[in-house]
Amino acid sequence: MGVHAKPATVLQAYVRDTVSLDGEWKAIVDPYENGYYDYRYQPFDQRPEPPPGAFFTDSKMQNPWDLIEYDFDKAMSLQVPGDWNTQDTRLYYYEGSVWYRKTFDAPARGAADRVFVHFGAVNYRADVYLNGQKLGVHEGGFTPFHFEVTDGLRPTGNSLVLKVDNKRRADAVPTLNTDWWNYGGITRSVSLLVVPATFVRDYRLGLVSLDEWEVVASVQLDGARGGEPVTLVLPELGIHETAEADAQGLAAFRFRVPDAGLWSPESPRLYRVEISSGNDSLVDRIGLRTIATRGKQLLLNGEPVFLRGISIHEEYSAEGGGRVRDAAQARQLLLWAKELGCNFVRLAHYPHNEHIVRLADEMGLMVWSEIPVYWTIDWGNEDTYRNAEDQLTAMIQRDRSRAAVIVWSLANETPVSEARNRFLTRLAAAARELDDSRLLSAAMEKHYRSDDPEVAVVEDPLAELVDLVSFNQYIGWYDGRPEKIDRVRWEIAYDKPVFVSEFGADARQGLQGGIEEIWTEEYQEDLYRRTLPMLDRIDGFVGTSPWILADFRSPRRVLPGVQDDYNRKGLLSEKGVPKKAFFVLRDYYRGKAAEER
């Protein structure tokens, strides 16, 4: 693990004292973007003096003759964090712009302090304004971003306005077509951070070698000139180190921790870390472990490990549904994974909220984290590439000190082409530059040998770039009848571990029938019974994350009485009721865990 090769784009807001701007926000639904464009369809925010009709000016009638055709004070309310689709039935299918407004007084601060407004995630595009001034734009629905507002704040009555737009676009990441609900809104927390003029923007810390028990860490200051002392303390390990920031504000550390206990799913040990510089300080908890491959083996802390996984969408429907809103909902998803016997979760298909990653650290679940480079991205478009790299960067910078995260995944089921290979080759290089201490992967696809339709082959230039050869396969669902599962043989020629990132079948919880009848619990159960031994026959097989923990909403799934807007491949219904296949996978994982002991 090297020091930061690229400047940090994130603020580690999660471990700071913040002023929350969560709760009730005022909202105006604006499908025609009437508050953004004038009647000639020119954006108001490009004018030197935007008129009161521009919603971001948050204007009020001053005189009886003022013509102002909106009023945030009288508008509907939406809860933040939260998607809009599940808060108001009128917005269930809505894809477009919604304006959000929050008013607040400036937080207490010292004369030299700086203030940032931080967003955990907004889907998909956010145009952000403070007191009528544009702060900027952010694209990408699942990664954090922030703006400095030190100079723009008023002592009282600040108006923070966002135009949140979740219209799908061919050139966006993800693109037009996905198999999940396009939940719009300010889906994660909003907060204000008050920090000294020079403060700790980011840090990372990780164990690099088991032989030497060596830890490499770095702290990135913001507002530094160079020469500032930075202190790093791990009190339980007797570590107390000081380094000087360089001209870029980066302080680098290297030390040994021969007495440390290692992080693992069986023993998710976390150590207190205290970082300080000048009058800024923060505290976090960090696990120490290594992850590596050797030939076809996957090694956690130098020992072979089998990934007893499950794929998870960031959706929690038991309480009315939608995007996970808080730590309690995130914990429930992980508790279900634990009940299933998992030691690993694949957080599909985009970076999930920070609660879940931190809970995985605490609860002992290894994590696969991915970006929404899904299916058919606009591979030849440089802006699309930049967008994907920005999302990758924010994901990695946010979570690269979490011991739980062992895999960064670049893409899911992307069709091989020259342009796609170039795109993903660049992305892989960017990921390695940001973090060379974890495994890279991507969910690829299989095909059949032309001379033998029962031999499945995984062959993809992307497999050369990654550490873990992963692929999705749906034999017995999209691909043939379940008997085909028993006959298939595998040819995977890479000297790398093999991971099956998806398989599954839809079943409506409670629907009983014969194993021949699709949509029944019995069909899904039978498919799991056949698939698990088949996977064990794959050379180099190190684990799987079947599709999926719980039923989740998708606009592609419209069959009445069966799907009703849900992809039904969950082992649990959307309410958390287990289907028969849940127990098949649980028994299999119990057997795997017993073998490891």
Tell me how far apart the alpha carbons of residues 303 and 475 are, in angstroms, rounded to a whole number: 32
Question: Among all residues, whose Cβ is closest to ligand GCB?
Answer: 179
Tokens of 43: 């954006």
Residue for token pair 């704040």: 153
Min. distance of Cβ 567 from ligand GCB in angstroms? 5
- Crossing angle for the helix pair 327-339 and 354-363, nearest 10 degrees? 40
Min. distance of Cβ 411 from ligand GCB in angstroms? 10
- Distance of CA 534 to CAs 329, 429, 492, 539, Å? 34, 34, 14, 11
Indicate whether 502 belongs to the interface with ligand GCB (CB under 6 A): yes
Opening angle at CA 307, ends 301 and 313, nearest 5: 120
Tokens of 37: 């464009």
Looking at beta carbons only, is 432 or 484 nearer to ligand GCB?
484
Looking at beta carbons only, is 546 or 578 nearer to ligand GCB?
546
Min. distance of Cβ 478 from ligand GCB in angstroms? 7
Looking at beta carbons only, is 36 or 523 nearer to ligand GCB?
523
- Per-residue burial over 456-482, b = 16 or more CB atoms within 10 Å of its CB, e = otherwise: bbbebebbebbbbbbbbbbbbbeeeeb
Which string of x and - marks every residue 172-211 that binds ligand GCB (by CB under 6 A)?
A: -------x--------------------------------
Min. distance of Cβ 500 from ligand GCB in angstroms? 12
Indicate whether 531 belongs to the interface with ligand GCB (CB under 6 A): no
Residues from 322 through 351 that contact ligand GCB (CB under 6 A) = 349
Looking at beta carbons only, is 191 or 414 nearer to ligand GCB?
414
Residues from 114 through 133 that contact ligand GCB (CB under 6 A) = none
- Distance of CA 363 to CAs 75, 260, 336, 359, 464, Å? 42, 19, 12, 6, 33
Min. distance of Cβ 521 from ligand GCB in angstroms? 17
Indicate whether 315 belongs to the interface with ligand GCB (CB under 6 A): no
> Which conformational region is residue 82 in: left (phi greater than 0), alpha (psi within -120 to 50 degrees), or beta?
left
Residues from 452 through 481 that contact ligand GCB (CB under 6 A) = 472
Residue for token pair 């650290």: 361
Tell me how far apart the alpha carbons of residues 249 and 223 are, in angstroms, rounded to a whole number: 8
Please identify which residue in 343, 369, 531, 567 interacts with ligand GCB, judged by CB under 6 A.
567
Please identify which residue in 26, 163, 569, 579 interacts with ligand GCB, judged by CB under 6 A.
569
Q: Give the binding-site size for ligand GCB (rule: CB under 6 A).
A: 9
Within the chain, what is the greatest distance between any pair of CA atoms? 81
Burial class for 67, CB neighbours closer than 10 Å (0-12, 13-18, 19+) = exposed
Looking at beta carbons only, is 45 or 502 nearer to ligand GCB?
502
Looking at beta carbons only, is 179 or 222 nearer to ligand GCB?
179
Min. distance of Cβ 225 from ligand GCB in angstroms? 48
Which string of x and - marks every residue 406-425 that binds ligand GCB (by CB under 6 A)?
A: ------xx------------
Tell me how far apart the alpha carbons of residues 178 and 371 are, in angstroms, rounded to a whole number: 13
Please identify which residue in 547, 582, 588, 589 interacts with ligand GCB, judged by CB under 6 A.
547
Min. distance of Cβ 390 from ligand GCB in angstroms? 22
What is the arrangement of strands in the sheet containing 23-29, beginning at the earlier edge strand? Answer: 76-80, 23-29, 97-104, 158-165, 125-130, 133-139
Looking at beta carbons only, is 179 or 525 nearer to ligand GCB?
179
Residue for token pair 């050139």: 171
Looking at beta carbons only, is 385 or 503 nearer to ligand GCB?
503
Residues from 225 through 254 that contact ligand GCB (CB under 6 A) = none
Looking at beta carbons only, is 116 or 474 nearer to ligand GCB?
474
Min. distance of Cβ 190 from ligand GCB in angstroms? 29
Residues from 360 through 379 that contact ligand GCB (CB under 6 A) = none
Looking at beta carbons only, is 243 or 468 nearer to ligand GCB?
468
> What does 193-246 look like in DSSP terms, one character per residue?
EEE-SSEEEEEEEEEEETTTTEEEEEEEEES--S--EEEEEEGGGTEEEEEE--
Residue for token pair 């799987």: 544
The residues that bridge with 136 in the sheet, in sequence order, are 128
Residue for token pair 């990934």: 307
Looking at beta carbons only, is 315 or 502 nearer to ligand GCB?
502
Interface residues toward ligand GCB, by CB under 6 A: 179, 349, 412-413, 472, 502, 547, 567, 569
